[in-house]
Structure 1
Amino acid sequence: MEFAEFAERAGDIEGLSADTDIIKAVTDLLASANDDLEVLARFVQGRVFPAWDSTTLDIGPNYCYAAIARAAGQNVSADDVENRLAEMGDIGEVAGSYDFGGQQGLAAFGAGREELTVAEVANELETLAGVEGTGSQDTKIDILFGLFNRTSTQEARYLARLVLSEMRIGVGEGTVRDAIAGAFDVPVEAAERALQVSNDYGRVARVARDEGHSGLADLQLEVGRPVQAMLAQAGTVTDALYDWEEAGIEWKFDGARVQIHYDGEEVSVFSRNMEDVTAALPEIAEYTRENLSVPAIVDGEVVAMDDGEPLPFQEILRRFRRKHDVARAREQVAVELRAFDCLHADGEDLLTVPLTERHDRLRAILSGGVSALTVTGDADEIAEIEANALDAGHEGIMLKNPESTYSPGRRGKNWLKRKPDVETLDLVVTGAEWGEGRRASFLGTFLLSARTEDGEFETLGKVATGITDEELAELTELLEPHIAAQDGQTVDISPRIVFEVGYEEIQQSPTYSSGYALRFPRFLGVRDDKSPEDADSLARVERLAESQ
């Protein structure tokens, strides 16, 4: 498929408002995709790589601005592109506003414009993602320039959005799932299950087309390919015992979620965002290799410890972020595994097996490091377990339906987290302000937003307290590549980074677009283990405000 046709169809989809119309348009796109099916199933969501693949383009907005400016002509600079973005508010609209005339000279001699294909875009972006080392920045800009230089106005609009993962045409994972089912006449439930075990929309689309329902049923988990983690929501003991009569109780550790894959020889450790963090946590890989008896996929948490006492969550995140001098970091911050679930063991998928059986299987194959699971309907016993967890320095308890299956990526009522301490919010940074005086070179005030159901972000406060000079330097280094536009001291930041924030109260306020404001917000840390899609929703903010 020519990229121009994809861009035209994306534009049509963007103009639709009804969910049914959007699903039908995506269904038609997939049905006509031919050899480009796998790529289009990703592109329409704004993805370049499969969901399980931690490969990224590693392209900050500034690289994209530079490539657009270069394709737009000698009289356009990256600053011009940034200024136009501040006016228009959408990088796609900005890219589409320029006349990329690199091919006009050829047309004047009768050569015409060489049409860009979807496959070429995918291949070039894959090449770009693999560029590293000295001169990599210039090489990446060269590749982007080459693409933009071949685009029409419409193509440029969606290429820019794709590069920065900001497709914004109203297509989410559920839309593509339903479109796969509609395009290839398979049950939605079959597509859903296949997506859960493969975490690859392109592959599921191809199998649905080529092999139908039976092919989807044959898809299984694969050791080495991460899937989304099952998620919990806030709840109470009363909720749990009312719904289930008995609950499975575990300590809730103040750690970082990991999914461990062991093929019998090699170990891979993935973060909650499915990033490969094996190199940063060598002792977890070593422990798994020594204590796991069969090939398996294990779910758990990594906890920072000091002489048997748990350390704050930020200590484990320091280990996750470490890419260099890991040996020294290992000496400074020791980490331990607390495994609590088993998705696959010795060739057998366990997603549909009840929680209690999965836990028994986990204890049978992993010698040590397994979190205790107590099944009880006694509220007093649950209170005692919670007290013991808090006395040991942990966050509280998890309450789980003993009969529940494992649903990757789902946040349902089968897992409840109970934390008796003050609530915190995980919010997305969408703006910032440069500091003054000795902090002039640091971003010092951060604009926080909650996600909405349609994938947008609404502001509800700024945080500047609780941050040391050292942390400001780290945060500036982390956020600066994501600066989308700047106006004086104020910058807009693409939604990529999640902060954990404490607060005293949530108030109604016209100051911020959400209609709410945080009273006395304070920075607690960066949630490296969460993507913007995992951040707290505006609906949760509203519930917390109502419950005060």
Structure 2
Amino acid sequence: MQKSITSFFKRKSDVPDESPEPKKAPKIKTETEDTKKLLIKTEDESPKAKIKAKPEPMTVDPPESPDAPKSVKVEKDTENKPAAANDAKNESDTENKEADRKVTTIGLVSTSKDGKEDAENYDPSKDSYHPLKNAYWASKKVTPYLALARTFQVIEETKGRLKMIDTLSNYFCSVMLVSPSDLVPSVYLSINQLAPAYEGLELGVAETTLMKAICKATGRNLAHIKSQTQLIGDLGIVAEQSRVSQRMMFQPAPLNIRDVFRKLREIAKISGQSKMDLVYNVFVSCRSSEARFFIRSLIGKLRIGIAEQSLLTALAIALVKKNHIGDCKASKVPEAYKDEIAETTLLLKTAYSQCPNYDIIIPAILEYDIKELQERCPMHPGMPLRPMLAQPTKGVHEVFERFGGMHITCEWKYDGERAQIHCNEKGEISIFSRNSENNTAKYPDLIARSKNFLKCPVESYIIDSEIVAWDVERKQILPFQVLSTRKRKNVDIEEIKVQVCVYIFDLLYINGTALVTKPLSERRKLLNEHFQEVEGEWQFATALNTNDIDEVQQFLEESVKGNCEGLMVKTLDQEATYEIAKRSRNWLKLKKDYISNVGDSLDLVVIGGYKGKGKRTGTYGGFLLACYDTENEEYQTICKIGTGFTDEDLQTHSEFLGKHVISSAKSYYRYDSSLEPDHWFEPVQVWEIKCADLSLSPIHRAAIGIVDGERGISLRFPRFIRIRDDKNSENATDANQVAHMYQSQDLVKNNQKTLTQTDLEDEFY
């Protein structure tokens, strides 16, 4: 078994000096030149040394280093033990005891002579943190990867959202002051990205490949690594436990941020054995918690709970701290700077919405005043904007209550895929989804006919549109389910079976000029001046300008007959700008479904599963769903659901979600203990859900504190509609939307007594 740090210090005399070259230490043969240089001291082979206490059957004891992960204990439930884990444990016991005897604990980094903190004790969360004095790497001007790993570790162990953000801001501030060129890779690594989302650069390293690299570097058996991963549920922790038990007589050079980021980008771009070799070469240089977070980065699950909005807030706070470093005696910013932080955060988030590229934004905030950021980071074709979104509404009367006295327009709401189509000065076409995913390769047919809808020469443009499946013979729109069958990658024009038509509804940029601050009436005028319709290929959204309630109602009925979801109602002149990345009340959606009740479906995140009973045995029979609270960046439970599924649906959901099971609820899941599912999931999938109505609930946490101080909101009779592949978990229905939908109900408006979740508990077995 692994030896603890305490054991290491007790046997300190056994550790050879660095000066004399050891002659008796045996070399471990490896497959690369790097590891031929690494010598490992074999432990005492006396009988006493070979006697090891047998561990508890289902307990994993981590090393006792200052930043080693907390011990993970799994209940001794023999019925639930993975069979593979038991078999693997028995098969690899002997081999791993031998491997354990050949490794000792890695030495700690010593405290520097100038009194600054050593790497192992680096803690950016402490109240007395100073961005310069506590940056132990200040003299080297290169940020160690261990400093970032320690920051991640502290954040992972922190409960409060504000404290997590403050901790990250302290680290960012130190990097800004000491090694500013490391800020870009630090930011990308903090959200587990290697480039802007629209570039589509992903690591794509299989767990098996990572396990093999860990085995190769640590001398452990593959079956043992697999069994430990099944027990703990986190290959990153397994990697750290395996790595931290080794001491190399010639320690590789410490990893730094720039090199790790560069290596990760290289890993993402290559395949085959070369990818495995690169992973191995970095892993053997990992110390302490570096191993945990390096492996997690490769898997694509950092598990620290920092989303992009939190990261932008942390950057803004770090920037204010940097600007007032002389006034800050500790990590906390004086109260006088709170307004400056709020303003900086808003400016940074606004700039990022129109220019979602940290390679452009971060150099700008380091060199220029924050008030110049939007000017320095303008929108331009080829870089997707975060789309403007609409608020749901439940009836025509509510539309006129909101837009009373304003000039409005109604557009058909198409049941397709949101598409932002860009053309740059070189004539290159790019197509992006609502999540900024690059879908250009998915639609080669649109690119081939992109010049057909130009009315006059156009140098560059960005249009907002909806792509729908199109029946060429009947000349009509087909359901979204038909569009979803279209091939996503390596699409050949000759093999396309599902034809599409683009319905354009907005123009955001034309010939080098951004239009988002112009009113919709002006944007629409420019759209008609520069573009033309081509039947079945490019068409303008069917629209009606009216302030007559009867005409709106009739237009809604026409949209339903035209195979659309309903209407989008927008202001034309007043409050009619394009609000990037916002769900604005200047756009309202009026859908055909549940108009007399809820008024809209909800897009909810699956966070838990309940084992099925009876005919559903072997799959999940029900699921725990949550909305997303954008302000607190947490998932709040809103209902349990077990209806609307076919047997095939349940099998598909069980297979997919079974790959995303986690050992316990995330720190940012808000739920009542009575709702504890059999399995918790990573927040990786969004479902569209319909319901009869919404009610206050004593156990669900959706929108808690918005409508009621102690109760959340739940759904009555929820029903599964479909998987929303076009949305990620942070684009799910948010808490404010849920509160608005609840308050828009006639029952609530008329002050009638609403039923609680206790009365309406959904029986789904």
- Quick check: 2:348–2:373 contact (8 Å CA) kept in 1? no
More strand per residue:
1
Q: 1:541 to 1:83 in 2, by over 3 A?
A: farther
Q: How much has 1:116 moved relative to structure 2?
A: 1.1
- Quick check: 1:54–1:274 contact (8 Å CA) kept in 2? no
Equivalent residue for 2:261, pick from 122, 134, 147 = 122
Amino acid of the structure 1 residue aligned with 2:635: F
Q: How much has 1:23 moved relative to structure 2?
A: 7.3
- Quick check: 1:249–1:375 contact (8 Å CA) kept in 2? yes
Counterpart in the other structure of 2:511: 346
- Quick check: 1:267–1:289 contact (8 Å CA) kept in 2? no
Equivalent residue for 1:150, pick from 268, 285, 288 = 285
Distance (Å, rounded) in 2 between the aligned partners of 1:304 and 1:265: 26
How big is each residue's C-alpha offset from its partner over 1:378-419, in whole Å with a ceiling of 9 and x where there is no partner?
Answer: 333333332322232211111223242223212222222222
Q: How much has 1:4 moved relative to structure 2?
A: 0.8
Counterpart in the other structure of 2:229: 81
Q: 1:540 to 1:250 in 2, by over 3 A?
A: same
Q: How much has 1:153 moved relative to structure 2?
A: 3.0
Distance (Å, rounded) in 1 between the aligned partners of 2:541 and 2:684: 32
Amino acid of the structure 2 residue aligned with 1:359: R
Counterpart in the other structure of 2:522: 357
Counterpart in the other structure of 2:731: 534
Counterpart in the other structure of 1:313: 480
1:266 matches 2:405: no
Q: 1:538 to 1:4 in 2, by over 3 A?
A: same
Distance (Å, rounded) in 2 between the aligned partners of 1:7 and 1:168: 14
Distance (Å, rounded) in 1 between the aligned partners of 2:567 and 2:227: 51
Q: How much has 1:530 moved relative to structure 2?
A: 0.6
Larger relative contact order, structure 1 or 2 (CA cutoff 8 Å, min sep 6): 1
Q: Which moved more, 1:61-70 or 1:498-507?
A: 61-70
Amino acid of the structure 1 residue aligned with 2:376: D
How big is each residue's C-alpha offset from its partner over 1:38-97, in whole Å with a ceiling of 9 and x where there is no partner?
Answer: 112223344332244332223566766676676665153223123213xxxx776x3586
TM-score by length of 2: 0.61
SS at match of 1:119: helix
Counterpart in the other structure of 1:380: 550
Counterpart in the other structure of 2:385: 227
Q: 1:376 to 1:67 in 2, by over 3 A?
A: farther
Q: How many residues align?
A: 530
1:286 matches 2:448: yes
Counterpart in the other structure of 1:167: 304
- Quick check: 1:52–1:200 contact (8 Å CA) kept in 2? no
Q: 1:526 to 1:428 in 2, by over 3 A?
A: same
Counterpart in the other structure of 2:115: none
Distance (Å, rounded) in 2 between the aligned partners of 1:317 and 1:282: 16
Distance (Å, rounded) in 2 between the aligned partners of 1:317 and 1:499: 15
Q: 1:165 to 1:101 in 2, by over 3 A?
A: closer
Q: Which 5+ residue runs of structure 2 have no aligned equivalent?
A: 1-142, 324-339, 534-538, 595-599, 665-676, 703-711, 748-765
How big is each residue's C-alpha offset from its partner over 1:188-242, in whole Å with a ceiling of 9 and x where there is no partner?
Answer: 3553443232111342111221344546513322222222111222233134313
SS at match of 2:255: coil
1:218 matches 2:376: yes
Distance (Å, rounded) in 1 between the aligned partners of 2:451 and 2:660: 38
SS at match of 1:100: helix
Amino acid of the structure 1 residue aligned with 2:477: P
Larger radius of gyration: 2
Q: How much has 1:483 moved relative to structure 2?
A: 4.7
1:502 matches 2:687: no
Counterpart in the other structure of 1:253: 414
Distance (Å, rounded) in 2 between the aligned partners of 1:507 and 1:297: 42
SS at match of 1:31: helix
Amino acid of the structure 2 residue aligned with 1:155: E
SS at match of 2:440: coil
How big is each residue's C-alpha offset from its partner over 1:391-448, in whole Å with a ceiling of 9 and x where there is no partner?
Answer: 3221111122324222321222222222241232212233457889999897775543
Distance (Å, rounded) in 1 between the aligned partners of 2:264 and 2:192: 13
More helix per residue:
1
Match runs of 1:285-434 below 5 Å: 285-292=447-454, 293-294=457-458, 295-306=460-471, 307-319=474-486, 322-323=488-489, 330-331=496-497, 333-368=498-533, 369-403=539-573, 404-422=576-594, 423-432=600-609
Distance (Å, rounded) in 1 between the aligned partners of 2:526 and 2:626: 41
1:457 matches 2:592: no
Amino acid of the structure 1 residue aligned with 2:231: N
Distance (Å, rounded) in 2 between the aligned partners of 1:5 and 1:31: 14
Q: How much has 1:296 moved relative to structure 2?
A: 1.0
Amino acid of the structure 2 residue aligned with 1:246: H
Q: 1:382 to 1:173 in 2, by over 3 A?
A: farther
- Quick check: 1:47–1:165 contact (8 Å CA) kept in 2? no
- Quick check: 2:296–2:302 contact (8 Å CA) kept in 1? yes
- Quick check: 1:10–1:169 contact (8 Å CA) kept in 2? no
- Quick check: 1:26–1:179 contact (8 Å CA) kept in 2? no
Q: How much has 1:533 moved relative to structure 2?
A: 0.6
Q: How much has 1:337 moved relative to structure 2?
A: 0.5
Distance (Å, rounded) in 1 between the aligned partners of 2:495 and 2:652: 16
Distance (Å, rounded) in 2 between the aligned partners of 1:544 and 1:411: 14
Q: How much has 1:508 moved relative to structure 2?
A: 5.8
- Quick check: 2:173–2:319 contact (8 Å CA) kept in 1? no
Counterpart in the other structure of 1:525: 722
Q: Which moved more, 1:71-80 or 1:417-426?
A: 71-80
Distance (Å, rounded) in 1 between the aligned partners of 2:218 and 2:713: 41
Name the Cα RMSD after superposition: 3.8
- Quick check: 1:36–1:119 contact (8 Å CA) kept in 2? yes
SS at match of 1:104: coil
- Quick check: 1:190–1:217 contact (8 Å CA) kept in 2? no
Q: Which moved more, 1:196-205 or 1:171-180?
A: 171-180
Amino acid of the structure 1 residue aligned with 2:633: G
Amino acid of the structure 2 residue aligned with 1:323: K
Q: Which moved more, 1:354-363 or 1:303-312?
A: 303-312
- Quick check: 1:432–1:446 contact (8 Å CA) kept in 2? yes
Q: 1:115 to 1:440 in 2, by over 3 A?
A: farther
Q: 1:139 to 1:542 in 2, by over 3 A?
A: farther
Distance (Å, rounded) in 1 between the aligned partners of 2:518 and 2:608: 44
